[in-house]
């Protein structure tokens, strides 16, 4: 052991090896419960989409550890706030081993009522009488009644549960279960999810107790204190190297879902010594639409997520990490609304708020700040009755889009927004087995990323063929406030929905509450990209060539945005169609944008566009499967 390690060992109330075992053990427990819920939940929005998060909090309600793939906006605040309200309601003396409490109250968590925290106290020690924390899981309950997005206050949005015991001393309280069962449109799925949530709390509690008992309660609690203190010290060290100052950015939402007026999202970030203060004074006041959130579930959540991305990316998400972060957030704001305000779509502003905080710090952290990501939920929500059994369905298929480029590489994606973490796309096969549509296309959206030295990430294009009557709720924003670039990078394309009615009518849509759809209609969803980084003129030629070959950008974009024109691409090729070989002297062939003009020589042709993704081609007005035979060498694509 070197002298530095010996000094650290003498300073700590716990030896470093045991500290690391406990540190990683706590995260491992939350990850294990995350995996168990994925395996046991009933709703695809939990077991596939992963609309939940697992957390461990202290006996005072401080966040200690969270699962590595959970929803950031859940664990960042909501689990701790729910526990703190339970402590205030019951006191430690009325919390027993085997108790399970649920809370979704807007006055506490500041989010929509679907987000329901379930937690249980953790007792350890020889007599099982030492409260060492709470194991908490926040799951999006798929339906709790209500009429979102038509709500005008929180009372229209469903069942409110403020720190209610669901189990007492290891026994279920049947009356509470009956209340829940009779206030949801989907009782079987919801009760199944609740059972998975409960089982997760029980196993998480027992695993944490076993860890504490293995090393002793005193050692365990000392380790928790050190973990939080070390995270705080690491975050402060990162802030200390930044230049002090006041940094700001102004963005906006297109509207609040009710009117047509833009909703200002103006933020200031103050860096002073080893603390960062986010000032939300310039954010819009509480709105009529259900985009509002509370102090802890809105303002503090978004500030913490942005802080984690920029400042503490390598640190665990716990209360210590966030101690250097302060807020200025007046009451009555969009992100600190009254507890009775409508909050059904509370998180819609979050991606833009997080983007704005990051953009504000462009001058302070030019090597860390990225272009804006697509920054909107891009959600399509279908409601109606299933074709097989007539039961109601509610399918929320959220969009993934491009993330912004940074100083070292192109933007990533398509991913969910920064507010969502590792939530996933529900598999197409599962959707088609449950809901009255077929997904006929799912592809990357060409030219959607913002141009730059490093290009922004791409959005996607998704086409739904409607098979049965249903309604559509659309949730697209950032149409007017497009995903911006940084350091000279250009903005990305925003998203949109195109509706092709069976009658031939075509409609472009961004937001809707209950748009009627009929069999034969087609919905085309195109999500936005991420903003670019650096001047497009500095993009290396080999990256432009790669993007052209891959279909990420078109030849028009290469010329317009990068000043590079694809003159020709020579292809030594032979290929087959469903009707046999094609003679390039006399025919014109297209395959997914790959066009061969028949006036070329027998073995050479000019490629007019460069999307090679297509697996079918049009010949003589008919669609044929096709297969290309090599060699196909596009590494020496000439440019002007």
pLDDT digits (tens, 9 = 90+) for 438-481: 999 999 999 999 999 999 999 999 999 999 999 999 999 999 99
Point out the domain boundary residue: 538, 564, 595.
538
Q: Which residues lie below 8 Å from residue 162, measured CB to CB, with a gap of 6+?
A: 85, 89, 103, 105, 107, 108
Assess whether 562 and 520 both reside in one domain.
no
Using the predicted structure, report yes or no on whether residue 623 has a pLDDT greater than 70: no
Q: Which residues pair with 172 in a beta bridge?
A: 167
Q: What is the pLDDT of residue 389?
A: 86
pLDDT digits (tens, 9 = 90+) for 23-35: 999 999 999 999 9
Point out the domain boundary residue: 203, 233, 263.
233
Identity of the highest mean pLDDT range in 123-127, 618-622, 631-635 = 123-127
Mean residue pLDDT of the chain comes to: 86
Assess whether 83 and 131 both reside in one domain.
yes
Assess whether 78 and 219 both reside in one domain.
yes
Confidence of residue 403 (pLDDT cuts 50, 70, 90): very high
**Residue 621 within any structural domain of the chain:** yes
Q: Following DSSP, what letter does each residue of 523-587 receive, concatenated?
A: EEEE---PPPBS-GGGS-HHHHHHHHHHTSS-HHHHHHHHS--B---B---EEEETTEE--TTT-
d(CA 215, CA 224): 12
d(CA 498, CA 280): 35
Q: Which residues lie below 8 Å from residue 245, measured CB to CB, with a gap of 6+?
A: 270, 271, 364
Least confident of 161-165, 185-189, 292-296, 395-399: 395-399
**Residue 398 within any structural domain of the chain:** yes
Assess whether 115 and 179 both reside in one domain.
yes
Assess whether 26 and 105 both reside in one domain.
yes
Assess whether 219 and 163 both reside in one domain.
yes
User: How far, in Å, are 108, 257, 570 from residue 111 at the CA level?
Assistant: 9, 17, 57
Assess whether 564 and 441 both reside in one domain.
no
Q: What is the pLDDT of residue 312?
A: 87
**Residue 145 within any structural domain of the chain:** yes
> How many domains does the chain divide into?
3
**Residue 593 within any structural domain of the chain:** yes
State the alpha helices, DSSP H only, in 54-173: 72-75, 78-90, 106-109
Q: What does the block give as tokens for 555?
A: 């030849």
What is the model's pTM? 0.86
Q: Which residues pair with 385 in a beta bridge?
A: 392
Confidence of residue 300 (pLDDT cuts 50, 70, 90): very high
Assess whether 424 and 532 both reside in one domain.
yes
Percent of the chain with pLDDT over 90: 74
**Residue 581 within any structural domain of the chain:** yes
Assess whether 531 and 625 both reside in one domain.
no
Give the domain extent around 587. 555-629
pLDDT digits (tens, 9 = 90+) for 544-597: 999 999 999 999 999 999 987 654 333 333 333 333 333 333 333 333 333 443
Residues 169-187: what's their mean pLDDT? 97
**Residue 128 within any structural domain of the chain:** yes
Point out the domain boundary residue: 510, 538, 566.
538
Largest CA-CA distance found in the chain, in angstroms, rounded: 89
Residues 140-167: what's their mean pLDDT? 92
**Residue 587 within any structural domain of the chain:** yes
**Residue 285 within any structural domain of the chain:** no
d(CA 419, CA 355): 10
Assess whether 467 and 616 both reside in one domain.
no
Q: What is the pLDDT of residue 5?
A: 33
**What one-character DSSP code corresponds to residue 367?**
T
**What one-character DSSP code corresponds to residue 483?**
-
Assess whether 384 and 522 both reside in one domain.
yes
Q: What is the pLDDT of residue 11?
A: 52
Assess whether 564 and 504 both reside in one domain.
no
Residues 502-531: what's their mean pLDDT? 94
């Amino acid at each position: 052991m070197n002298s530095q390690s010996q000094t650290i060992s003498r300073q700590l109330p716990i030896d470093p090896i045991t500290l690391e075992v406990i540190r990683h053990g706590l995260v491992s427990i939350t990850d294990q419960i995350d995996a168990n819920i994925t395996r046991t939940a009933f709703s695809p929005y939990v077991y596939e989409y992963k609309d939940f998060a697992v957390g461990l909090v202290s006996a005072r309600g401080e966040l200690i550890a969270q699962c590595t793939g959970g929803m950031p906006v859940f664990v960042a605040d909501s689990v701790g706030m729910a526990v703190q309200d339970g402590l205030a309601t019951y006191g430690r003396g009325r919390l027993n081993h085997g108790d399970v409490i649920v809370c979704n109250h807007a006055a506490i968590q500041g989010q929509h009522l679907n987000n329901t925290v379930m937690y249980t106290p953790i007792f350890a020690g020889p007599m099982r009488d030492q409260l060492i924390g709470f194991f908490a899981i926040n799951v999006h309950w798929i339906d709790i009644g209500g009429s979102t997005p038509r709500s005008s206050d929180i009372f229209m949005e469903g069942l409110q549960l403020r720190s209610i015991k669901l189990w007492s001393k290891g026994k279920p309280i049947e009356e509470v279960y009956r209340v829940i069962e009779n206030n949801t449109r989907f009782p079987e799925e919801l009760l199944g999810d609740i059972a998975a949530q409960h089982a997760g709390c029980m196993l998480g509690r027992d695993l944490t107790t076993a860890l504490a008992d293995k090393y002793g309660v005193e050692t365990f609690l000392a380790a928790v204190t050190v973990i939080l203190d070390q995270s705080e010290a690491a975050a402060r060290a990162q802030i200390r190297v930044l230049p002090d100052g006041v940094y700001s950015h102004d963005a906006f939402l297109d509207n609040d879902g009710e009117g047509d007026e833009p909703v200002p999202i103006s933020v200031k970030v103050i860096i002073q010594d080893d603390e960062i203060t986010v000032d939300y004074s310039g954010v819009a006041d509480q709105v009529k639409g259900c985009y509002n959130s509370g102090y802890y579930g809105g303002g503090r959540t978004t500030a913490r997520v942005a802080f984690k991305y920029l400042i503490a990316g390598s640190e665990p998400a716990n209360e210590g990490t966030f101690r250097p972060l302060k807020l200025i957030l007046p009451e009555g704001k969009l992100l600190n609304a009254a507890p009775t305000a409508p909050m059904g779509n509370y998180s819609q502003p979050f991606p833009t708020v997080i983007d704005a905080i990051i953009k504000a710090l462009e001058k302070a952290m030019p090597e860390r700040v990225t272009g804006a990501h697509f920054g909107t939920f891009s959600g399509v929500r279908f409601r109606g009755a299933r074709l097989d059994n007539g039961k109601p369905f509610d399918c929320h298929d959220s969009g993934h889009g491009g993330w912004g480029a940074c100083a070292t590489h192109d933007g990533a994606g398509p991913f969910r927004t920064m507010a969502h973490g590792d939530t996933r796309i529900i598999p197409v096969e599962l959707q088609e087995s449950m809901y009255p549509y077929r997904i006929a296309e799912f592809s990357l959206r060409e030219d959607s990323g913002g141009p730059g030295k490093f290009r922004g990430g791409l959005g996607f294009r998704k086409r739904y063929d409607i098979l049965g009557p249903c309604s559509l709720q659309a949730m697209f924003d950032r149409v007017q406030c497009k995903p911006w670039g940084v350091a000279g990078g250009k903005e990305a394309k925003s998203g949109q929905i195109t509706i092709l009615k069976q009658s031939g009518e075509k409609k472009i849509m961004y937001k809707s509450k209950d748009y009627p759809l009929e069999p034969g209609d087609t919905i085309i969803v195109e999500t936005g990209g991420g903003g670019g980084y650096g001047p497009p003129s500095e993009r290396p030629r080999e990256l432009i060539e790669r993007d052209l070959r891959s279909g990420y950008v078109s030849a028009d974009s290469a010329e317009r945005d990068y000043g590079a024109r694809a003159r020709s691409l020579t292809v030594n090729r032979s290929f087959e169609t469903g009707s046999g070989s094609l003679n390039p002297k006399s025919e014109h062939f297209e395959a997914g944008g790959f066009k061969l003009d028949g006036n070329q020589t027998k073995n050479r042709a000019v490629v007019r566009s460069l999307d090679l993704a297509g697996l079918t081609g049009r010949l003589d007005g008919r669609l044929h499967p096709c297969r290309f035979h090599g060699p196909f060498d596009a590494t020496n694509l000439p440019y002007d």
